[in-house]
Structure 1
């Protein structure tokens, strides 16, 4: 299974698991809960916290009742969060395999964001 397939599967699982009231969801699975500082305050930790906060804010969309539109709007922010986290890895990470994965994530997620934005332009009311 390649990285893109794994990410797509994870995205689908995340979307299926999202509670109806996403704004009230517990975000602790992303490393820190909102408003609580991480124990480690390294540059990479601060960058990951900032990327996570930006992603969660972007995912707080007004729901329309159109599952397709709501899914795509939420996933654009989610994919951008993956890009932002991958960029943190490229700036601070050392492992060549993980850096390569980060580069692949950026390329895949940017392409998927372009596709979703084009889909929204044609289908969102």
Structure 2
């Protein structure tokens, strides 16, 4: 159950970082910067999130790897098509690729045997699921 919880948490975090459609004009007008990179609604702006993922002086090799996996995911995420099924599959594929990249950082840099074992399980599961997604997308190009 712990593994499922970790996988779900990773997916939710990744979903929060995926590119979103542009807000409506009235919504954008209400989202003026409010200091410390926060928007009027208390949320961080897209550029602030991207800045947090940029390598920083003093970052460990693991932190640089995790940040790189998130930056790559954000930059490579496909645009939404409006088809819920296709968008789900395309977005989940990007999240799975980022999860694999993060798991590889854990295996290379981590010290805890349980965390490293989970990382390997994540790689195996996510690669299998990417195969399922790719087959589905080939049969359902949208």
Larger relative contact order (Cα-Cα within 8 Å, sequence gap ≥ 6): 1
Alpha-carbon RMSD across the aligned residues, in angstroms, is 2.9
Does structure 2 conserve the Cα–Cα contact (< 8 Å) formed by 1:4 and 1:105?
A: no
Question: What is the distance in 2 between the residues matched to 1:45 and 1:2?
Answer: 23
1:115/1:62 CA distance change after superposition, 3 Å = same
Shift of 1:109: 0.5
Question: What is the distance in 2 between the residues matched to 1:19 and 1:62?
Answer: 8
In structure 2, the residue matched to 1:63 is 80
TM-score computed with the length of structure 1 as normaliser: 0.76
1:40 to 31, 53, 58: 58
Structure with more of its chain in helix, by fraction = 1
- CA deviation vs aligned residue, 1:51-75 (integer Å, no higher than 9, x gap): 111111122x221110110111011
Runs of 5+ unmatched residues, structure 2: 23-44
Residue 21 of structure 2 corresponds to residue 3 of structure 1 = no
1:45/1:62 CA distance change after superposition, 3 Å = same
The structure with more radius of gyration: 2
In structure 1, the residue matched to 2:97 is 80
- CA deviation vs aligned residue, 1:16-72 (integer Å, no higher than 9, x gap): 9978427x74774x9x625x544632211211111111111122x221110110111
Which stretches of structure 1, 4 residues or more, deviate above 6 A after TM superposition?
16-19
TM-score computed with the length of structure 2 as normaliser: 0.68
Q: Where in structure 2 are the equivalents of 1:106-121 lying within 5 Å?
A: 106-121=123-138
